[in-house]
Each structure stands twice: as C-alpha cells, then as structure tokens.
Structure 1
Amino acid sequence: MAALKILMIGAGGIGGYYAARLAGAGHQVVLTARGSHLQALKADGLTVDYEGRVLWHGLPACDHQTLLRDYHPNDFDLVAIALKSTATGAVMSELCDWLRSGSVPVLSLQNGVDNEPLIAEVVGEARVLGGLAVRIGGHITEPGKVFAEGVAQIVMGAWPAQQPKDDPRADFLKVLEVAFNEAGIPTTMTENIRYELWRKLVINNGINPLSALTRLDTRSLTHHPQFRHVVFGMMSETVEASKADGVNLTRKDLEEMFELISSFNAIKTSMLIDREKGRPLELESIAGAVLRRCDALEVEAPYTSLVNALLNHGL
C-alpha cells in the first residue's frame, strides 16, 4: 500500500514506539517533542528498546512553533496524539487555528475518556478518531531514547461512534488498520470506540493511581491478598461511572477487565513512572474522570476517592 504521512504529536514511550514501527514499514513520520528530548531526536534520531530489540530511525522532529511555521495540516494523512492527557487541552488551544485550517483526521492514543471531546471542540466530530493503546508500557529513558514493552495493540474507531451509513471515516479506518498491522502493530477497529475507551479506563483507574501510591507494578497489585480487592473496587466504581456517559458497562465488563489486568506481566504503570520521575500525574484524567461522573450520578466511590486524596496530598 502507499506510504502514509503521519504526524505524531508526542514522541514519548507510546508515541515513540508506534512511530518507530510505522517508520520501519516505510511510512513518513514526523515527530513533535520539546527540550533535550527534541534536541537528541534531531541530532541522533529515535532509538526504541522494545523488549530487547533496538529500533532506530532518523525522523524529522520539531517543536510546535516550528510545526506551525513549516507544515500545513494537510501535509499529513493522519495526526496522531500520544501526549499525556493532562496536556490535551493546552495543546488543542496552541494548535487550534492550525488544525482548523486543514481537514486531516486526528487520532487520540491517550489515557482517559475526555481527550476526544476536547479535540472535537477544535476540529469537529467528523474528523475525530478515538483510539487506545492496549497492553503497552513505555517511557523515555534518556533524551532521544525510549523503552517499550507489551503486546502494544491498538483499538480505534470513529468517535463518538461510527455512523450507520456513509461515515467518511470508515474507509480511512480500514486503510489505517491494514497499515498498522503490516507495521507490526496489532490493530483492530470498533464501531463503538467510547465503549472501548471506558473499558480501558476501568483498568487504568483500577491500577494506575494505586500503583503510584504503593509503588507496586501491575502483577504485584493484582496478586496481592489485600490490594487486589482495592483494584477490583476501583474498577467497579469506574463501571458505575460509565453510566453518566450512557456507556453502561456491566458486571461482565468488570470481570473481563479484572481478569485481563491480572494476566499482565509485571508492568510499571505510566503513573508510577511519572511519580518516580517527579512529573505531574494523570490523576484528573483517570481518577478525576471517575469521581466527577460518580458525583453527577450521586453515587459513592470510596476506593477511588481515598486513593485520589492520598496522592493529591503527596502520600
């Protein structure tokens, strides 16, 4: 198939890994980054350590000011966003005029369920693709270098859902599915991406905040005689919160997600890595998203409330 031109906004553990895979398959990938990581990418290229295999690519990389100056959105077939969800609002504000000047689809590959609405406010729902990275852990180890592990699947779909008839995004999603799979990224499509995003939030809320608090990996938490019950409780509260968005997850979803996370290898969560490195946590995008919706539904979320409060107080 013809090479795609892809802009990857955010070249950290997740964005860097997927960019390297896509570049290795012959697609033209441009990265955005900042600071010492950007300087290293420009000088020495992108190096990804994926479970003992090293992927290296010399890819164009720039900051957002350079992006606005040197590129037009329609230079790309796809804009993919792999930033921390805490940065989505600010980046949409920064790039809003630039994005609106084109018609390129925008794909979110981020944690949480509130990124796509922010993107849609800028470009309109018809250009938004929702996505989630499944069973992948990754982070920047030093400027220009990324570590990633896991199956590293992607699920994507038209947001908030694919229209029953004549959704122009449907054909493009088929192109992406083929391209990503041929690049070694196991990728599937869904007609109900909000459902899949909420299912991932069930795992993220069950594991990420508690891992940051206890400094334990996924396997240690799900197999601990006490903490596993807290994980299940926070996941259950997320299932309840989904009703506020009309997604209405069930006990079956809860049990499937708990079984899935319990089968993971011992992966350090992104929130644990952020805490170890002294970076801001994605609490508002994960636990906060659950608590806001539980408040709206007037239901209690004691596990999530407690863990969230302890982290917010620096414990």
Structure 2
Amino acid sequence: MRFVVVGAGSIGLLIGSYLAQHQANVTFWVRREEQAGHLRSGLVRRPENFTYEVDSTIHIEELPTDALWIIAVKYDALPVVLSEISALPVQPDLLFIQNGIGHLSLIKQHSLGYVSFATVEHGAARIDDRTVSHNGIGPINIVENDRIAPIIQWMQDIDPQNFPITTQQNAEQLLFRKVLINCAINPLTALLEIRNGLLLENPHFHVLFRQLCEELLSNFKEYSDLLSYSDIEEVCRKTADNQSSMLVDRIKGRNMEIETILTAVLKEINQKGGTAPFLQMLETALLGINRSECGGC
C-alpha cells in the first residue's frame, strides 16, 4: 500500500507511524526541508519508542499520485494545499482529516480527484519534527465507499486494539458529530489552559463541561442517536492526558481553529433558530485571545 500524508503535525505523524508499522510505503509532504530531513532519518512513536522508515519531501511533483493522499493539515493551511493539488496533471484520491466543517466549502472550490472524509478521536502530541506521542486511543472513523474499501480493510488489520478503524455511511453526520465533540472539549481546554482530563477530574471545570455539552446537545436533538453526553465524556476520558489542538495552538502562539469549529456550529444553531449563549461567550473570548496573543491573527 502507498500513502502520502500531507502535513506532519501530531495526527499526521501518528497515522503515518501506524501505516509504516504495517509495511506501507509512506511519504510525507511537508513545508520545511529541515523537517523532511528529520523524517527521512526515521519516524518515532512514543511511548514504545519504535522507529519507522518513511520518506518525506517538500516538492509536490515528487509525490506518487497512485497513492491515497491523507490530508492532515489545519484549516488555515488548506487553501494553499488544495490549490497545489488541484494543479497536478493527475489527480490522486484524497482522504480529508480535519477538525471542524469549514473545509467542506473549500473543497468544493477546487477541481480535485476522488474525495473522502474521516475523523480522528485519538489523543496525540507532536514532540519534535519526527516524534509523536500516542496519548489516547480512539477510533478513526472513515466514510465507507467502494473506491477505497480495500484500503480501509487493509487499515483495519494494522492494530485493532491501538489503532481501531471504523466505517460510517454518512459524511455529513460523521463530520458534524466530530465538530460537536470538538466544540465541547477544545474551547474550554484552550480558555482554561488545561489538558482534556481536567474537564472531568476538576469538579468546577466539570460543571462547565457538562453545561456546554447540554447546550450543544439540546440544539442538535436530531443527532441524539449518534452522540450523547456519555460519548463526549468518553472521548475526553480516553484523551485525558492530551492537550487539545486548540490549546496547543494557543501555547505556540498560532491561530486557533475557532471559525471552522465554534463559529461554524453557532451559524448552524442560528439558522435553526436556537441559542447557545455559553458557546457564543467562548467564541468571543477565544477570538479576543487570538487577537492579543498571536499578533492580531
């Protein structure tokens, strides 16, 4: 099996390590030659400290188009990535793994090959350019389709205990379920500057967490069969030692993914005639933090 992993953040590195563990041919497409060089010396996954052989390049023309491309970059990097991919003479099959739902409209603006979607519920942290720590086990949920069905089957055999792969039928439901989970965990951890597990362990933070979950779920009762408070709590528990991507962005002075997660959900709530004052307050607070802490981004 051949894969291109676009982006070498925590999730890209984690997925790439398990693919390489199962003897796949894995090539990372990254922005910096320094990181490409580090990855070519071996991809390390903790806590096992196993090292896996992968390739890496900064040049899109060197990437195999007969591979499945796993798009694991953040939302603000997507416009450039999609523009470069759409300019290729041969279009590869793409599997998008993003937080939020803002990427859906971006994808529609480009002429791309076959597109599929997935969500990730693992906890992972990038330690350095070639090292990732697997901090919590959760499923990778992939929208099922005939074109990539053999690849999904192959992936399900990698490590069912530590790298479970599940399939879903409905892309919209899959992505919206994940964005609601992100909405419940990421903004609070970013605002309070805490790891995920403290939302359950600290009784005061737990009150806020439950209140936010109840507000979200009450506005999307049509998803009650797909997502419950217990489901969100379980994700939080499984990633207890992890820092949310939004918190990591804040710590590193990067633009937090507010618009594609919080703003997008608030827009859906407003269109339904609902209200979400707690989520609205979190959006306003985090936008203010973005402005003051990352140079007005």
Q: TM-score range by the shorter chain?
A: 0.7 to 0.9
Asked if 1:129 corresponds to 2:135, the answer is no
Q: CA deviation at 1:34?
A: 2.2
Structure 2 distance, partners of 1:61, 1:27, is 14
Structure 2 distance, partners of 1:108, 1:253, is 22
Structure 1 distance, partners of 2:172, 2:131, is 32
In the alignment, which residue of structure 2 is the partner of 1:38?
Answer: 36
In the alignment, which residue of structure 2 is the partner of 1:150?
Answer: 136
Structure 2 distance, partners of 1:263, 1:95, is 37
Structure 2 distance, partners of 1:142, 1:41, is 10
Q: CA deviation at 1:31?
A: 0.4
| Alpha carbons 2:75, 2:260 under 8 Å: kept | yes
| Alpha carbons 1:241, 1:293 under 8 Å: kept | no
Q: CA deviation at 1:29?
A: 0.9
| Alpha carbons 1:222, 1:261 under 8 Å: kept | no
Q: Structure 1 residues 250 and 272 mapped into 2: Cα distance closer, same or farther (>3 Å)? A: same
Alignment of 1:1-315 (within 5 A): 4-35=1-32, 36-42=34-40, 44-49=41-46, 52-63=47-58, 66-67=59-60, 69-71=61-63, 73=65, 75-76=66-67, 78-98=68-88, 101-123=89-111, 127-134=114-121, 136-158=122-144, 169-170=145-146, 172-184=147-159, 185-239=163-217, 248-250=222-224, 253-264=227-238, 265-314=240-289
Q: CA deviation at 1:104?
A: 3.0
Q: Let me know the Cα RMSD of the aligned residues.
A: 2.4
Q: Structure 1 residues 97 and 233 mapped into 2: Cα distance closer, same or farther (>3 Å)? A: farther
| Alpha carbons 1:107, 1:131 under 8 Å: kept | yes
Structure 2 distance, partners of 1:240, 1:176, is 37
DSSP 3-state at the match of 2:118: strand
Structure 2 distance, partners of 1:29, 1:72, is 10
Task: Give 5+ residue unaligned stretches, structure 1.
Answer: 159-168
Q: Structure 1 residues 143 and 266 mapped into 2: Cα distance closer, same or farther (>3 Å)? A: closer
**Letter matched to residue 174 of structure 2:** E
Q: CA deviation at 1:38?
A: 2.6
**Letter matched to residue 137 of structure 2:** V
Q: Structure 1 residues 97 and 213 mapped into 2: Cα distance closer, same or farther (>3 Å)? A: same
Structure 1 distance, partners of 2:6, 2:14, is 13
**Letter matched to residue 224 of structure 2:** T
Q: CA deviation at 1:252?
A: 7.1
Q: CA deviation at 1:237?
A: 4.3
| Alpha carbons 1:275, 1:281 under 8 Å: kept | yes
TM-score normalised by the chain length of structure 1: 0.81
DSSP 3-state at the match of 2:197: helix
Q: CA deviation at 1:82?
A: 0.9
Q: CA deviation at 1:144?
A: 2.2
Q: Structure 1 residues 232 and 176 mapped into 2: Cα distance closer, same or farther (>3 Å)? A: farther
TM-score normalised by the chain length of structure 2: 0.86
DSSP 3-state at the match of 2:258: coil
In the alignment, which residue of structure 2 is the partner of 1:165?
Answer: none
Identity of aligned residues (%): 24
Q: CA deviation at 1:26?
A: 1.4
Q: CA deviation at 1:266?
A: 3.3
Q: Structure 1 residues 226 and 23 mapped into 2: Cα distance closer, same or farther (>3 Å)? A: same
**Letter matched to residue 207 of structure 1:** I
Task: Give 5+ residue unaligned stretches, structure 2.
Answer: 293-297
Q: CA deviation at 1:241?
A: 6.0
Aligned residues: 285
Q: Structure 1 residues 59 and 262 mapped into 2: Cα distance closer, same or farther (>3 Å)? A: closer
Q: CA deviation at 1:96?
A: 1.8
Structure 1 distance, partners of 2:236, 2:128, is 30
Structure 2 distance, partners of 1:104, 1:241, is 38
